[in-house]
Copies of this chain bind each other. A is one copy, B any other.
Amino acid sequence: MDLQEGKDKFIQSWGALGSSWGINRTMAQIHALLLISPVALSAEEIMEELKISRGNANMNIRALIDWGLVFKELKPGERKEYFVGEKDMWEVVKNIITQRKKRELEPMLKVLDEISSVEEVDAESKEFVKVIRDIKLFSSKADSTLDSLVKADSNWFVGTFMKMIR
């Protein structure tokens, strides 16, 4: 397989993967492109490479910066902004976990909290509150497990955890 074919395949697959994870295709493709690019790329170059409009490129680059997956790089003497991708996969995963935890898990915990104040007047409402408390307990555990995971370092992940769990 030649380089261009490999690159295209990677960008394409990474984009498809993103789609099933609530990340839009273009955003995932830009991320893929920057992951495999040895040098920082300008918006122009990204537009060119992925055949997308300026607006689209700009929006998704901002979003990636927001997620901590891409960084601006200013070249001395150059007016354009350049962008580099976070290459350390463990960092990538940690950032995604952190963001999604904040955006999704935490709001859900809040809702579960509110909901468990339903008055337990009859069998049905008692059962409801029980189920909700169960889910809340589980979610809180997931939440703090993810916290610890994010604090742990990459070596821990690739080493100890694997051995321990087997």
Contact = CB atoms under 8 A, between A and B. Distances in A.
Nearest to A90: B138
A132 B89 contact: no
A88 to B, nearest CB: 9
Interface stretch (A12-20, A53-61, A64-72): A12-20
A1 B165 contact: no
- How many copies of this chain does one complex carry? 2
Interface residues of A, number: 59
B144 A162 contact: yes
A38 B128 CA distance: 8
Given A1-B119, A6-B132, A9-B111, 9 more contacts: A1-B114, A3-B118, A3-B125, A19-B22, A20-B22, A35-B135, A36-B132, A87-B131, A138-B158
Interface of A: 1-3, 5-7, 9-10, 13, 17, 19-22, 35-36, 38, 87, 89-90, 93, 100, 103-104, 107-108, 111-112, 114-115, 117-119, 121, 123-125, 127-128, 131-132, 134-135, 138-139, 141-142, 144-145, 148-149, 152, 157-158, 161-162, 164-166
